[in-house]
Amino acid sequence: MAKAQKIVLTPEEKAHQKVRRRAQIKRDRWIYLLLLPGFLYFIIFKIVPMYGVLIAFKDYYAPSQFFGPGFSEFGKDWVGFENFRLFLTDSSFWMLLRNTLIISGMNIIFFFPLPIVMALLLNEMKVQWYKKAIQTLVYVPHFVSMVVVFSITYVLLRAPAAKESGGAIYEIVKTLNGGNGVDIMQDKIAIYWVVLLQNVWKETGWGTIIFLAALAGVDVEQYEAAIVDGANRWQQLIYITLPAITGTIVTMLILRMGSVLNTGYEQLILLKNSGNADSIQTFDTYVYFQGMQGGEYGYTTAVSLFKSIISIIFIQSANAIAKHAGQEGLY
């Protein structure tokens, strides 16, 4: 395609264009009114906080009882990269990085393929009413609150306290383990599997939608032609179905890579307790606990800014690698 030539406008044409734009704006004045609430929303709650990121370079904190009267905050002096230096040299940095990578890594390795596999299985189901029924059931957990997921987990896994016996799964594990109960909720290693299983349970079904949409676009004639050529079911899967969703898989993987450092807040904040804190404290929850509860505003903003920048680098690199490998990429 030929490159669009840059059109050089004469002064009269420029003046004319200006008049026309003004007429357009006047014509669309009601449209601008409709746009206004949304526009203000983005400015106030999205753009202004981006400017607020500057406190990452300030010694900005609230006293420990920051919910007290007046919300007095101390120290608003510029400190350059001091907050970043503090964070990167802090002993908890490596702990947080390790935990974040373990949780994200387990999710990418064990969770990421599951919706793809489930979508392929659903795609093979030809009895439509049964397929629909199954879909209805597997989508449900997505719409359940994380608090409910946590509550169910807690009720099932909790170790016995005074006057109470343990949760249902606790008692099963105890029996299998020869009478020794394991407090999974407090366990430093087992808790990772709880995090993973909660994700698997909640999001596997919902995750199939995007792949099913891609699969719905495959031309049926391709399968018919393949069958005529003697391709079996497995060959159809390898040569037609999988190539059809490769683009979607790559897109999802790039997005997932970009959010390797994001572990989310709710799930881990809910699961955290005195026993597992050193295992499931991640960058995200650290920002919440140190910032929101500890009042270290400047410092934790530096932490989340650091995380955002790494994420952007990750997503750009993943995109570049995908493009290099001949895939479409995100943009």
Query: Does residue 144 interact with another protein by CB under 8 A?
Result: yes
- Measured from the CB atom, the residue of 217 and 326 that comes closer to another protein is 217
**Window 278-297: residues binding another protein (CB under 8 A):** 287-288, 291-292, 297
Query: Does residue 143 interact with another protein by CB under 8 A?
Result: yes
Q: Which residue has the tokens 């004639």?
A: 221
Q: Under a CB-based contact definition with an 8 Å cutoff, are residues 279 and 192 in contact? A: yes
**Window 221-240: residues binding another protein (CB under 8 A):** 230, 232-233
**Window 169-188: residues binding another protein (CB under 8 A):** 169, 171-172
Find all residues with CB under 8 Å of 116, minimum gap 6, and list them. Answer: 211, 245, 249
Query: Does residue 128 interact with another protein by CB under 8 A?
Result: no
Q: Under a CB-based contact definition with an 8 Å cutoff, are residues 196 and 111 in contact? A: yes
Find all residues with CB under 8 Å of 303, minimum gap 6, and list them. Answer: 83, 87, 283, 286, 287, 290, 291
The one-letter code for the residue type at 153 is T
The kind and range of the H/E element at 119 are helix 113-124
**Residues 233, 239, 243: CA angle, nearest 5 degrees:** 125
**Window 2-41: residues binding another protein (CB under 8 A):** 21, 24-25, 28, 30-35, 37-39, 41
From the CB of 44, what's the least distance to another protein, in Å? 7
Of residues 16, 42, 63, 72, which one binds another protein by CB under 8 A? 42
Q: Which residue has the tokens 């995750």?
A: 207
Query: Does residue 301 interact with another protein by CB under 8 A?
Result: yes
Query: Does residue 138 interact with another protein by CB under 8 A?
Result: yes
From the CB of 147, what's the least distance to another protein, in Å? 4
Q: What are the residues facing 104 on neighbouring strands?
A: none
Q: How far apart are CA 263 and CA 61, in angstroms?
A: 25
Window 244-263: contact mask with another protein (x via CB under 8 A) = ----x--x------------
Total residues contacting another protein by CB under 8 A comes to: 96
Query: Does residue 130 interact with another protein by CB under 8 A?
Result: yes
**Window 65-94: residues binding another protein (CB under 8 A):** 67, 71
- Measured from the CB atom, the residue of 105 and 147 that comes closer to another protein is 147
Query: Does residue 201 interact with another protein by CB under 8 A?
Result: yes
- Measured from the CB atom, the residue of 105 and 136 that comes closer to another protein is 136
Q: Could you give the maximum distance between any two Cα atoms of the chain, in Å? A: 91
The beta strand positions in the chain, using DSSP E, are none
